[in-house]
Amino acid sequence: MKVGILGTGIMGRPMARNLLEAGLEVWVWNRTREKAAPLLAAGARWAETPAALARQVDVLGLVLATPEATREVFYREDGVLDGVHPGLFVVDHGTNPLAWAQEAAPLVAEAGGQYVDAPLQGSYPEAERRALVILAGGTPTGLEPLSPYFEGVGGTIVFAGELGRGVLLKLALNLITALTGAALAEASALAAAFGLGQEVFFEALEKSSLAAPFHRGKGEKLRSGDLSPQLPLKLMNKDLRLIQAEASRVRFPLFMGGNARALYTLAERMGLGEADLIAVRNVYREEA
């Protein structure tokens, strides 16, 4: 099976590496070619344009930062749509709006391919250790041909049932990510305001029934001051924007999500967009 990864950023890079290590023929394209250099050195092949990449492969994974970037790369001259061929699976791993899946799927189908929404649950560490959860808008039978690709990427699959449901599942789960990040930031800042040390706060959290891998990972980042992005804060805020839009579409009152959006927006305005989402903790430093 020949596979392609379009977008070799935080998530696309480890995914492509996993595919190479699984022994698949891997092709890549990235807007900034230099960022794909380590993958090319490891055996990936370079396609000159998104269309050329699509033409080369049986499965094309899109791992682009935002809905706007995905749309641009899809429709541009020599974009993805120009390269769709009969039998191609376009597997969109981005966290995008439901309307995007509904727009892209018929266009890919017209050219003989199949579009699948397949967002990712898990961040860079999970991608690196092949522990992603892929939320697929489809059924086990319908997506059976993709098994070697999904296994190669390093993910467990949850089949959400039909087109677009993978994206909705991702948005619902990502509300937990946003709220948990905000809760961890606010609670650890409150502890500091009480005069409690961060070591004792995180020790108690770790020993309690509240302990969770997410708390542990983000706690370590806070304590070491390492705010390098796993999920960049600006992408967390982008996801909250999408969550709010989908919630209002179904007239759902998003009490907690609305507050989280205000908090992450403030953090982004403070210039923390490129840092990890847990940099939202710095808002409280400024307020204190």
Ligand X SMILES: NC(=O)c1ccc[n+]([C@@H]2O[C@H](COP(=O)([O-])OP(=O)(O)OC[C@H]3O[C@@H](n4cnc5c(N)ncnc54)[C@H](OP(=O)(O)O)[C@@H]3O)[C@@H](O)[C@H]2O)c1
Which residues would be at the binding site for ligand X (CB under 6 A)? 7-12, 30-32, 35, 63-65, 69, 72-73, 93-95, 120, 123-124, 230-232, 235, 239
Q: How far is the CB of 120 from ligand X (least distance, A)?
A: 4
Residue 85 tokens, joined: 């061929």
- Shorter beta-carbon distance to ligand X: residue 143 or 231: 231
- Shorter beta-carbon distance to ligand X: residue 15 or 201: 15
Three-state secondary structure along the chain?
Answer: CEEEEECCCCCHHHHHHHHHHCCCEEEEECCCHHHHHHHHHCCCEECCCHHHHHHHCCEEEECCCCHHHHHHHHHCCCCHHHHCCCCCEEEECCCCCHHHHHHHHHHHHHCCCEEEECCEECCHHHHHCCCEEEEECCCCCCCHHHHHHHHHHCEEEEECCCCCHHHHHHHHHHHHHHHHHHHHHHHHHHHHHCCCCHHHHHHHHHHCCCCCHHHHHHHHHHHHCCCCCCCEHHHHHHHHHHHHHHHHHCCCCCHHHHHHHHHHHHHHHHHHCCCEHHHHHHHHHHHC
- Shorter beta-carbon distance to ligand X: residue 167 or 263: 167
- Shorter beta-carbon distance to ligand X: residue 10 or 143: 10
Q: How far is the CB of 193 from ligand X (least distance, A)?
A: 29
- Shorter beta-carbon distance to ligand X: residue 191 or 241: 241
Reply yes or no on whether 2 is catalytic: no
Q: How far is the CB of 5 from ligand X (least distance, A)?
A: 9
Residues taking part in catalysis: 170
